[in-house]
Structure 1
């Protein structure tokens, strides 16, 4: 009999999730905006600078913690020449919450667990992966919005919107990034620029550029030591907006200015299959709406999940 093989040129992938064996190298552990679910707890080193109102009673905080829910799905995904060329069209989303826990007997108005706010990011993207070594990703639309927690909004001793700035952040960007895997190293870089929301958001990230690297050192089986660094530069516009002029009159900008800020992240940990547990340090503009004009310095332990 004659034996023959049929080579499949184009193959549709029915699983919209990322492939662990290859795609984890394209989702940098130290990138603050990666789409990996995680739970962080630790200390905000300059919390008193972020929340200067003494009624926050930050001296009674036991710890700060931030759960992050993330997903990256590509319902349209197909391969050409087996896995040499991979194309993915999908959507990615993450929601990050900012909490603190107070000492027993030192409750705030809503209890010992206090919600400061949340940060949300969602994007639609096109992705090309070559030979599972190089990935290029283009997101024509990325939406970012930040909200203040009800634990602040519902307590007039912490925030009086009739006297303080009425904060609101929401804008859209385009995003382009590239990742390259070389042995134990995963290099990446990218840029974003704003396309909408210039005159209605208190904060607009007009432009940013970033780069970084993860290093995975195999230890045994699926266990690796992971470390690296992430560095970015952000050009932001701050708008001071009058939101109390009345319905139908718009939101006039009373003042505005621009500034550059850095973003630095580093850490070390252990990667065990889809999980990474490690210590991280981050310094960047705060993602908490109440303190959006200030830089935040945090260090803590994080457990993250890739899927």
Structure 2
């Protein structure tokens, strides 16, 4: 008897839902109801190209976009100040970047409000290519190091024109590559101070789309790792803009500029033999500018352009120096 009553109640509920929709056919009533339910929550764990590309600065060095840069580091010899690197034998320098965002929690409210909780990941790889017929014992390609950034973030997006991002925790670390550590002519651990970088930040930023323009800016604050790292970005403020002009179909002309100011803590670090403890020999702070400009073409999810970057080197070995580079950049928005 209970099963019969339950079945009858389910039939009545379905009948009420379906026939409450204004339509001519039974199929249309079912389709309309399905669409109405789906509109209550739009789930997409990946980036939405049509809207979210305007909330990620193209020339922003910390943007979570995969890219491949190839060009020339204009002051590489002053960054390393070591004849054994044989910079005169280099053909070119290149920097692959693996980066993306994943937002497993994403929903819409009242059509114009979007909320996202996700994780951003970025790793830069710094390499150079020796000329044909020349190499060192590790081969024709020299890897200088890696730089990694990962964070958890909360996004609020209004009407697909404004985005506010808050990241309570961003981890940053840099590492010297095995190519340098394995060659004592390049890096002598007995004579040079121990190099290590790893700290946590808090991040907040805002983006606004106005026609063909995107304006953005933000700040970062260090929250931990002050006495265990050669470099700690205590505070930074940045601002930038992208300018897109539609040309034909999915092809647009794009140009951008990024300006930043960093307040960095520079430590001279020693550690005990067991590698578990750190000792700060001396420390000082520096204010460092950062600039990045670019011009190119955007084709759907790909941007191909010429970029110039100037700022503190993210290569851990050369973290005390400024890096000036220019080259071809291919960015992929995934």
TM bucket normalised to smaller: over 0.9
Q: Residues 90-169 of structure 1 correspond to what in structure 2 (within 5 A)?
A: 90-169=118-197
Partners of 1:248 and 1:95 in 2: CA distance: 25
Aligned to 2:48: 19
Compared with structure 1, are the counterparts of its residues 240 and 104 closer, same or farther at alpha carbon in structure 2 (3 Å cutoff)?
A: same
Please state whether the residue corresponding to 1:21 is helix, strand or coil.
Answer: helix
RMSD value, Cα? 1.6
The number of residues matched between the two structures is: 305
- Could you tell me which runs of 5 or more consecutive residues in structure 2 were left unpaired when the two chains were aligned: 1-18, 24-31
Give yes or no for the alignment of 1:33 onto 2:62.
yes
Q: Residues 24-103 of structure 1 correspond to what in structure 2 (within 5 A)?
A: 24-82=53-111, 84-103=112-131
Please state whether the residue corresponding to 1:49 is helix, strand or coil.
Answer: helix
Q: Residues 223-238 of structure 1 correspond to what in structure 2 (within 5 A)?
A: 223-238=251-266
Q: Judging by fraction of residues, say which structure has more strand.
A: 1
Q: CA deviation at 1:73?
A: 0.4
Q: Judging by fraction of residues, say which structure has more helix.
A: 2
Aligned to 2:279: 252
Query: Rg larger in 1 or in 2?
Result: 2
Q: CA deviation at 1:166?
A: 1.3
Q: CA deviation at 1:298?
A: 0.4
Runs of 4+ in 1 over 4 A off after TM superposition: 4-10
The correspondence for 2:215, drawn from 184, 187, 207, is: 187
What CA deviation, in whole Å up to 9, does each residue of 1:225-250 have, x standing for no partner?
0002100000000011112x333872
Partners of 1:264 and 1:161 in 2: CA distance: 33
Contact 1:70–1:94 (8 Å) recurs in 2 = yes
Compared with structure 1, are the counterparts of its residues 216 and 249 closer, same or farther at alpha carbon in structure 2 (3 Å cutoff)?
A: closer
Contact 1:96–1:118 (8 Å) recurs in 2 = yes
Partners of 1:264 and 1:118 in 2: CA distance: 21
What CA deviation, in whole Å up to 9, does each residue of 1:122-159 have, x standing for no partner?
00000000000000000000000000111000001111
Compared with structure 1, are the counterparts of its residues 249 and 186 closer, same or farther at alpha carbon in structure 2 (3 Å cutoff)?
A: closer
